[in-house]
């Protein structure tokens, strides 16, 4: 099978795009499975035929998340007809792609994909994603041996999950020595640890993947845990970073030496022996969603005599078949594992404090249709245009729907006209799903704005679960946990053989339980005092050469991809390492005034978003009530601000001569 050279890719999972030999009828059948919004722009990019971008076929931005991108039946038919003609011409012309378009043409394609306007600022980002010449544009453009051959430098990365693998890959490309310490027995982080039934990503996999390691053959739209675990294993092997990982190592503390300008990282190895390693730089890639949160505030917590299990510490060997099960919490993980629990348990009582908004996702558990996979593998750049379409509709294109309109009047359930429109559309979904069950409907429809709390994807399985005869949804307050079950505030007792905790993670307790001591022995957790902050989520004043990935205020709310944030953060850190080497400096530290001004702006903007404005409880807020998790600005702004570090934002220290 020949390949199209112009569609080359830096990805180890894509060897090229295959030539088209299929008959017209087969092409027409494949196009029935197409994601429509990016189809004509991708074909315009491929063929140079800008007449494909008809105004009547631009998607409505407000309808992009609907099936078929909100197109009418007539529009769908016209798009597929135009696409078939274009693909046939491309096939019959020998599968020769058109030369790369000029910026003006590419901008038109980009704006047509998402129904947007004035999007020129996104062009450089799209070009990075398209990688139409096979470049890995996020790779470092420098090498330590060439930049500073006389300088010794080393890095310790804590964590071999998604962010740690990426940081290791980029450091290796730059020729910077590093060691990775990870508490687990294999790479993958959360996707290695999460073993509960139903665990899967809530972001389409064409978006939830490294830009330089995209796949055209994802088996699912939203991959289950095993697929993602294997993806990160394969990436680690291809990037050749596994050999630098010390598995089974639990980091206890990292201590900065001002005299030596180094960090000493102390850890317990797989044999239980205390060890330490010294390095110039520490990168924390420990993530946020890995330490379970338990409802210790409930009276009697810990007194239950039966089995207990948190979703983050799932024990597959513990059979729930025929058991009386109580689940405390209805967070994102709970809504994934509870349908499976309900199938085998004799009874299942689900206690809910706050109902989640459900995002209708009919294909949430579905495999990618063969026709769509064929298009990804045969139409150059179609997969990449679709990736950008997902990036937009789940990120910057949805931001206005959660922004507070100060003039908007409501009962607290919406924050603007667009927010109210979103709420009404979702309420209609609830009405349809719980038709005939008014008793459940009044319990499951949230009374807070869409986006104020994490949304949960649903393909109808939640309603089917709650309607089962062996399942009961309870919204009264839990008064206490007893030795035999739980007692509610109204005195009702629910006996149980097993209590499950779907109560989420200690997300706001960054870097816990690792101790970090910076300049003058300042303990980072004492310095934060329960209110974690960092500049761009990466750098902290008083902690030179210490960098975070997925740090404070780098969580995305409208379900953008955290991999995107890690890629931006890693490039920023590599840029700071480059600055150190180029200047022959021993340490780099963000200025306190720069850090503080940035966080003031973050707080002001978060207050203007649904998640900051609403009083609903969520893991976005820390114990002090501050939103310490979320990035409130556009994804584009994070890319722009981390593309290149501004040296004036930092202080450099130099070794004594």
The predicted-structure confidence for 19-49, as pLDDT tens digits, reads as follows 999 999 999 999 999 999 999 999 999 999 9
Instruction: Give the DSSP letter string of 7-56.
Output: G--S-TT---EEPP---HHHHHHHHTT--STTHHHHHHHHH--GGG--GG
pLDDT, residue 640, reads 96
Helical axes 39-47 vs 103-114, angle rounded to 10° = 160
239: left (phi over 0), alpha (psi -120 to 50) or beta: alpha
pLDDT, residue 477, reads 96
44 with 50: CB under 8 angstroms? yes
Domains of the chain: 3-137+373-393 (no CATH), 144-291+507-598+617-653 (3.50.50.60), 307-364+397-501 (3.50.50.60)
H/E stretch holding 312 reads none
**Residue 573: which of 601, 555, 599, 550 has the closest Cα?**
550
Residue 132 has pLDDT above 80, yes or no: no
The tokens for 422 are 């979103």
H/E stretch holding 190 reads helix 190-193
pLDDT, residue 133, reads 55
SS3 assignment, position 284: strand
pLDDT, residue 5, reads 38
393 with 561: CB under 8 angstroms? no
Instruction: Give the DSSP letter of residue 606.
Output: H
Q: What angle do CA 488, 489, 494 make, to 5 degrees?
A: 10
371 with 34: CB under 8 angstroms? yes
Rounded to whole angstroms, how far apart are CA atoms 428 and 462? 15
Residue 4 has pLDDT above 70, yes or no: no
Locus of tokens 């085998």: 344
The tokens for 91 are 């096939």
- Over residues 49-68, the pLDDT tens digits come to 999 999 999 999 988 888 89
Which residues lie below 8 Å from residue 291, measured CB to CB, with a gap of 6+?
Answer: 312, 505, 506, 509, 512, 513
The tokens for 395 are 């990120």
Q: CA neighbours within 13 Å on the CB side: how many for 479?
A: 9
Helical axes 562-583 vs 635-642, angle rounded to 10° = 20
- Convert 3-29 to b/e letters by CB count within 10 Å (16 or more is b): ebebbbbbbbbbebbbebeeeeeebbe
Helical axes 382-393 vs 123-130, angle rounded to 10° = 140
φ and ψ at residue 242, rounded to 5 degrees:
-60, -35
562 with 550: CB under 8 angstroms? yes
- Over residues 416-467, the pLDDT tens digits come to 999 999 999 999 999 999 999 999 999 999 999 999 999 999 999 999 999 9
Residue 131 has pLDDT above 70, yes or no: no
Tell me the average pLDDT across 599-614: 97
Rounded to whole angstroms, how far apart are CA atoms 218 and 238? 17
Residue 199 has pLDDT above 80, yes or no: yes
308 with 501: CB under 8 angstroms? yes
Dihedral angle at the C-alpha atoms of 424, 429, 430, 431, nearest 10 degrees?
A: 90
Spell out where 238-380 has E strands. Answer: 245-246, 250-257, 262-268, 274-279, 281-284, 307-310, 324-328, 347-351, 358-360
**Residue 645: which of 601, 583, 599 has the closest Cα?**
583
- Over residues 624-639, the pLDDT tens digits come to 999 999 999 999 999 9
- Over residues 348-407, the pLDDT tens digits come to 999 999 999 999 999 999 999 999 999 999 998 899 899 999 988 888 888 999 999 999
The tokens for 74 are 């007539």
State percent of the chain over pLDDT 90.
Answer: 86
The tokens for 134 are 């096979």
SS3 assignment, position 181: strand
Residue 6 has pLDDT above 50, yes or no: no
Rounded to whole angstroms, how far apart are CA atoms 513 and 250? 10
Q: What angle do CA 184, 190, 195 make, to 5 degrees?
A: 90
- Over residues 471-490, the pLDDT tens digits come to 999 999 999 999 999 999 99
pLDDT, residue 606, reads 97
Instruction: Give the DSSP letter of residue 369.
Output: P
Residue 507 has pLDDT above 80, yes or no: no
State percent of the chain over pLDDT 70.
Answer: 97
The tokens for 60 are 């409505």
Rounded to whole angstroms, how far apart are CA atoms 291 and 510? 10
**Residue 279: which of 261, 259, 296 has the closest Cα?**
261
pLDDT, residue 7, reads 44
Instruction: Give the DSSP letter string of 412-453.
Output: SS-SSHHHHHHHHHHHHHHHHHTTT-HHHHHHHS-SS-TTSS
Rounded to whole angstroms, how far apart are CA atoms 438 and 432? 11
């Amino acid at each position: 099978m020949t390949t199209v050279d112009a569609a080359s890719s830096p990805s180890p999972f894509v060897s090229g795009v295959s030539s088209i030999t299929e008959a017209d009828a087969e092409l027409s059948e494949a196009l029935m499975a197409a994601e429509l919004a990016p189809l004509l722009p991708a074909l315009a990019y491929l063929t140079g035929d800008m007449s494909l971008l008809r105004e009547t076929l631009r998607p409505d931005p407000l309808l992009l998340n609907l099936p078929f991108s909100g197109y009418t039946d007539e529009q769908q038919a016209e798009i597929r007809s135009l696409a078939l003609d274009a693909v046939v011409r491309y096939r019959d012309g020998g599968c020769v792609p058109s030369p790369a378009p000029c910026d003006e043409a590419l901008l038109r394609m980009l704006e047509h994909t998402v129904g947007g306007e004035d999007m020129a600022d996104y062009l450089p980002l799209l070009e990075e994603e398209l990688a139409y010449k096979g470049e890995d544009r996020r790779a470092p453009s420098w090498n330590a041996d060439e930049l500073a051959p006389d300088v010794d430098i080393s890095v310790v990365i804590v964590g071999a999950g998604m962010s740690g693998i990426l940081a290791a890959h980029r450091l290796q490309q730059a020729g910077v020595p590093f060691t990775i310490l990870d508490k687990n027995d294999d790479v993958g982080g959360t996707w290695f640890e999460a073993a509960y039934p139903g665990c899967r990503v809530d972001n389409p996999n064409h978006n939830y993947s490294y830009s330089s390691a995209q796949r055209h053959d994802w088996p699912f739209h939203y991959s289950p845990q095993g697929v993602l675990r294997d993806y990160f294993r394969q990436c680690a092997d291809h990037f050749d970073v596994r050999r630098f990982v010390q598995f089974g190592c639990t980091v206890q503390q990292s201590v900065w030496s001002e005299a030596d300008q180094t960090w000493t990282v102390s850890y317990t190895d797989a044999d239980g022996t205390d060890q330490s390693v010294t390095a110039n730089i520490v990168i924390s890639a420990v993530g946020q969603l890995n330490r379970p949160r338990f409802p210790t505030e409930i009276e009697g917590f810990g007194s239950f005599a039966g089995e207990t299990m948190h979703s983050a510490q799932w024990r597959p060997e513990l059979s729930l078949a025929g058991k009386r099960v109580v689940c405390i919490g209805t967070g994102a993980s709970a809504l994934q594992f509870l349908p499976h629990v309900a199938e085998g348990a004799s009874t299942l009582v689900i206690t809910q404090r706050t109902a989640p908004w459900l995002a209708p996702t009919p294909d949430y558990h579905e495999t990618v249709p063969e026709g769509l996979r064929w298009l990804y593998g045969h139409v150059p750049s179609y997969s990449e245009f679709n990736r950008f379409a997902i990036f937009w509709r789940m990120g910057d294109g949805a931001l206005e729907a959660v922004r507070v309109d100060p003039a908007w009047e409501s009962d607290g359930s919406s924050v603007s006209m667009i927010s109210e429109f979103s709420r009404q559309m979702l309420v209609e979904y609830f009405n349809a799903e719980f038709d005939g069950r008014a008793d459940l409907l009044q319990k499951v429809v949230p009374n807070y704005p869409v986006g104020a709390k994490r949304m949960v994807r649903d393909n109808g399985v939640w309603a089917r679960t709650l309607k089962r005869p062996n399942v009961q949804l309870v919204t009264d307050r839990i008064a206490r946990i007893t030795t035999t079950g739980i007692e509610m505030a109204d005195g009702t007792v629910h006996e149980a053989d097993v209590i499950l905790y779907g109560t989420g993670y200690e997300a706001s307790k960054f870097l816990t339980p690792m101790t970090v001591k910076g300049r003058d022995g300042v303990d980072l957790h004492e310095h934060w005092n329960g209110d974690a902050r960092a500049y761009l989520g990466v750098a902290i004043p008083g902690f030179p050469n210490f960098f975070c990935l997925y740090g404070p205020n780098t969580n995305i709310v409208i379900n953008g991809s955290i991999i995107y944030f890690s890629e931006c953060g890693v490039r920023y850190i590599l840029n700071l390492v480059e600055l150190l080497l180029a200047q022959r400096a021993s340490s780099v530290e963000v200025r306190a005034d720069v850090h503080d001004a940035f966080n003031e702006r973050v707080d002001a903007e978060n207050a203007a978003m649904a998640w900051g404005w609403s009083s609903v409880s969520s893991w976005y807020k820390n114990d002090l009530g501050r939103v310490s998790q979320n990035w409130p600005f556009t994804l584009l702004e994070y890319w722009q601000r981390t593309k290149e570090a501004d040296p004036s934002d930092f202080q450099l220290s130099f070794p004594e001569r």
